[in-house]
Amino acid sequence: EPEVTQTPSHQVTQMGQEVILRCVPISNHLYFYWYRQILGQKVEFLVSFYNNEISEKSEIFDDQFSVERPDGSNFTLKIRSTKLEDSAMYFCASSPGTGGPFFGPGTRLTVL
């Protein structure tokens, strides 16, 4: 069964450093998403991406964040200058266009 994959599973970084989280969505899906879950809190929508551009983003997704689909398979989330409060589990998800998105296993980001 096809699935969304994410790498790395755990990323540790120093405050102020740039990080790139990587995802490979399900191959025939058209919509791609990033969510995050701060420990003990709700899962929060960050951004959706369709047809090579951002289709929707939340207030959380400020200028420090960017997304890219550099080739036909990868989908990345970049945080330019990490802050302590960026520590969270980041989930990538993809969808064929209807129905709920399929989530990856997540990348735990720890900012020290």
Partner 1 sequence: GNSVTQMEGPVTLSEEAFLTINCTYTATGYPSLFWYVQYPGEGLQLLLKATKADDKGSNKGFEATYRKETTSFHLEKGSVQVSDSAVYFCALSHQGGSQGNLIFGKGTKLSVKP
Q: Which residues of 4-33 are buried (b: 16+ CB within 10 A; e: fewer)?
A: bebeeeebebeeeeebebbbbbbeebebbb
Q: Which is nearer to partner 1, 14 or 51 (CB)?
A: 51
Concatenating the DSSP letter of every residue in 17-71 gives: --EEEEEE--TT--EEEEEEE-TTS-EEEEEEEETTEEEEE-TT--TTEEEE--S
Q: Check binding of 95 to partner 1 (CB under 8 A).
A: yes
48 binds partner 1 (CB under 8 A): yes
Question: What residues between 8 and 47 interact with partner 1 by CB under 8 A?
Answer: 30-31, 33, 35, 41-45
> Which residue among 27, 39, 62, 100 contacts partner 1 (CB under 8 A)?
100
Check residue 64 for interaction with partner 1 (CB under 8 A): no
Least spacing, CB of residue 61 vs partner 1, in Å: 12
| Least distance between partner 1 and beta carbon 42 (Å) | 5
